[in-house]
Structure formats: C-alpha cells, structure tokens
Amino acid sequence: MKRIHSAKDPLMIGHLKNVMATFGIKCVTRKLDLISAAGQLPPTECWPELWVVDDDKASRARAILKKTLAPLASVKKPWMCSGCGEKIEGQFSECWNCGCDRAGVKSPGMIKLASLSHRR
Ligand SMILES: [Zn+2]
C-alpha cells in the first residue's frame, strides 16, 4: 500500500478514487471520518488520504493523478472581490481583505482568520 495523495476535501479524494478505478487501479481511502478531529491535530495530519493497494501501480497512479489535477490548477485565475474590489490570487477562495468569498458572501467569523493566514 502506498499513499499517493491527501486533500482537504473528502469529495476530491472520493473523486480521485473513482478516476483510479476507471484506470483499473484499486485504491482505498483513509481518514475520511477524521475531519471532525481537525483543530486538535495539525491540519494536514487529518486530511483524507488516497492509497494505492498495489505498490507497483503507485507510479502509474501518480502520473494519472498529476494529469487529473492539472486542469484544476490552471483554472485558478485571479479574481476580483465583489465586496471591496481587491484582486485575489486564484488559490484563495476568500478575500484576505474583507472575508468575502468568490460569490461575494461574507463570512464574519472568518475575516480575522482569513487575513491572518493569507498575509505572510
Ligand atoms: Zn474583499
């Protein structure tokens, strides 16, 4: 068994598992139920994981994974916050300045957190 991927989003892990299945690569998921433990563990420690059952298929699985994820990365273009007009980099889903998401919906509790975690 080899771990080939982990992602914050359990739906993404489920999707990737299905993709692997279409290529005849058997995978299992782990930690899908650990999301609720976030906060007590380092965040990446409790992300859902995707494991390849056959070790010798791991490199092929990684290649498929790369191709599958590539289009997703390229669509992450910068976007304009409708709340404050700030230009936001594509990898962020919320405005670091005012806490609005791409749809312009403000999440009050996230404002401080968002500005802290996005300003490095
Ligand atoms: Zn904003």
Sequence-ordered list of residues with C-beta below 8 angstroms from that of 86, at least 6 positions apart, any chain:
80, 95, 96, 97, 98
Collapsed DSSP state (helix, strand, coil) of residue 11: helix
**pTM for this entry:** 0.54
Q: Hey, which residues does 95 pair with through a beta bridge?
A: none
Conformation bin of residue 80: beta by default, left when phi > 0, alpha when psi is -120 to 50: beta
Question: For residue 2, how far is its CA from the centre of ligand 1 (angstroms)?
Answer: 41
Q: What are phi and psi of 8, to 5 degrees?
A: -65, -35
* DSSP structural state of residue 42: -
Question: For residue 6, how far is its CA from the centre of ligand 1 (angstroms)?
Answer: 29
Residue 30's nearest CA partner among 42, 12, 55, 13 is: 13
Of 79 and 110, the structure prediction assigns the larger pLDDT to: 79
pLDDT, one tens digit per residue, over 72-103 is 655 678 889 998 999 998 888 889 899 888 88
Please name the CATH architecture into which domain 2-74 falls. Answer: 2-Layer Sandwich (3.30)
pLDDT, one tens digit per residue, over 10-45 is 889 999 999 999 999 999 999 887 655 555 666 667
pLDDT, one tens digit per residue, over 52-63 is 999 999 999 999
User: Which residues line ion ligand 1, judged by CB < 5 Å?
Assistant: 81, 83-84, 86, 95, 97-98, 100
Give the residue extent of every domain in the chain: 2-74, 79-118
